[in-house]
Amino acid sequence: MIGHFLDIWDLDSETANNIIKLTLDFKYNNFYSKSLQNKHIGLLFSKPSTRTRVSFEVGIRELGGNSIFLQENALQISRGEDPADSARTLSRYLDGVVIRTGSHDWLLEFSKFSTIPVINALTDLTHPCQAMSDVFTLYEAFKENIKNLNILYIGDGNNMANALISVSAMFGLNLTVCTPKGLTPNKENLEKALEFAKKTNANIVLEHDPLKAIKDKDIVYTDVWVSMNDSDADKKISLLKDYQVNKELLSYAKKEVKVMHCLPAKKDQEITADVFEEHADFIFNQAENRLHTQKAIMHILFDGTSKVASI
């Protein structure tokens, strides 16, 4: 039982590995779970979402639960009600809450007062459900060889970069993060990851030169240059113009390189349309896996007494 899932750092290695194994069981072995039977799960979102919202709503129903979508602008939170009071109120009605919000600090404050499990569905700091799902996508494709992959994240040092740094440390992966000097990932999270990496032999490297970073990579991951929380779009686009994933850049990676994107994509900004289409199968498999991974996360969070099926 892990309580809240606000960040990758809320998991220990064993639980993180169990999530990946259980996801495999949900996707391929018809693992049966009604761990949300008679449970009401709120989805409190202050930002748009396609994948996260729909995959959580479907996953909750498949686990036997009921989901209630709570758009922030329809709640008193939008008029300034304290996160502490909102958390204490919602805890009286619901059994769990999935939150997408701009401020990670707001999420932490809400979670401090919540007596029901809280799941982070994206903040300005991190996107842990996406990153766990991405590890599953890599595990599904490469099995134990996942630890030998050379993975590159290229683009903005944003919530996705931070989340990938965290999972790489947790699972012992080799990750290069290539960003412009002015857009490096969160320092505190990186320090935590480098400390954790000593235990797992993860190799996490920061680089600013795309041509150096791309060399011999098996996986190239990118994300939008302008995130939902960003106000300085023009500045970001101009800083990132040499960090696009295109045919020319990919010609320096391994021949069989796979491209990943958490979506939504802004074609011809962070990734060219031709590269996106060439790698669409892998990218949309990534999107599908959100559903299976989040079912595993919720099963473990809400049914702490159950053993993970395949171990």
N-term to C-term CA, the chain: 16
**Residue in 35, 158, 176, 189 binding ligand NVA, rule: CB under 6 A:** 158
* Cβ–Cβ under 8 Å, residues 173 and 151: yes
Query: For residue 29, what are its two tokens?
Result: 């072995």
Q: Which is nearer to ligand NVA, 203 or 229 (CB)?
A: 229
Smallest distance, Å, CB 102 to ligand NVA? 9
Site string for ligand NVA, 230-269 (x = CB under 6 A): --------------------------------x-------
Residue 159 contact among ligand CP, ligand NVA, none, beta carbon within 5 to 8 Å by kind = ligand NVA
User: Binding-site residue total for ligand NVA (CB under 6 A)?
Assistant: 9
Q: How far is CA 266 from CA 40, 125, 256, 287, in A?
A: 35, 21, 24, 16
Residue nearest to ligand NVA (CB): 227
Q: Are 163 and 131 in contact (CB under 8 A)?
A: yes
* One character per residue 211-230, x = contact with ligand NVA (rule: CB under 6 A): ------------xx--xx--
Of the pair 54, 84, the CB lying nearest ligand CP is at 54
> Facing residues of 206 across strands?
177
Cβ 209 vs Cβ 176: under 8 Å: no
Residue 50 contact, options ligand CP, ligand NVA, none, Cβ 5-8 Å cut-off depending on partner type: ligand CP
CB of 7 to ligand NVA, least distance (A): 15
Contact 118, 11 (CB under 8 A): no
Q: Cβ of 76: how many Cβ atoms within 10 Å?
A: 12
Q: Taking CB under 6 A as the rule, which mask of x and - marks residues 93-112 in contact with ligand NVA?
A: --------------------
CA angle 294, 309, 95 (to 5 degrees): 40
50: tokens are 């396609």
Give me the phi and psi of 96, to 5 degrees please.
Answer: -170, 160
Interacting partner of 160 out of ligand CP, ligand NVA, none (Cβ under 5 to 8 A depending on kind): ligand NVA
Q: Which residues bind ligand NVA (CB under 6 A)?
A: 122, 158-160, 223-224, 227-228, 262
